[in-house]
Amino acid sequence: MAKTEQLQIRVTASEKAQIKARARQANEDVSSWVLRQLIPPAEERFQALCGVLATSPTPPSDRFAEINDFLTGLSATSLVQAVGLAPRADLGSFEANYLAAMIEQTCVAKTVEVPAWLTDIEPLPNPWFASSLISRRLRLLTRSPPAFRRRNLFTDNHVGERG
């Protein structure tokens, strides 16, 4: 992506020297190093996956599988950085709720704070079931993870699992 904007910050001579030294240690120019500190690669990847979720014609299950792999592969620290900001992409209600449930469940599993922006997503008005078979609904009602149930989503898959 072409860089078309400039940002200036005021620092002391000592702070400037520290920033330059750290960038040099990382074998990066100062701009690249500062950007990586402020916008970590995990956050960029999360935003990109959300963009695909919002626009891709492939079935949502394929897109959620990729997000599942991404979330579960992150360390606790990287997870907090990655999902700290709400997606910039305009997600539909179903996609936003499913994503929020996945993030909440992953945060709980990795014992980190759930991002505050998840509370801005209203649960689905009607239940959604991962199976159209009536005989499976009781199982889905009882086995669905709490983060999904709160959002009116009923599935027996947990983040980190494939099934």
**CA–CA dist 156, 163 (Å, integer):** 9
Domain boundaries, the chain: 41-119
What pLDDT, on the 0 to 100 scale, is given for residue 159?
56
Q: What is the pLDDT of residue 67?
A: 95
pLDDT value, residue 161: 55
Adjacent-strand bridge partners of 128: 153
The residue ranges of the chain whose pLDDT is under 70 are: 1, 157-163
- Residue 158, pLDDT score: 63
**R_g over Cα of the chain:** 19
pLDDT at 163: 45
Q: What is the per-residue pLDDT for 131?
A: 87
Distance CA 65, CA 69 (A): 6
Crossing angle of the two packed helices 60-73 and 93-109, in degrees rounded to 10: 20
- pLDDT attached to residue 37: 79
Token pair listed for 120: 């801005």
Q: What's the pLDDT at 77?
A: 94
Strand partners, 157: none
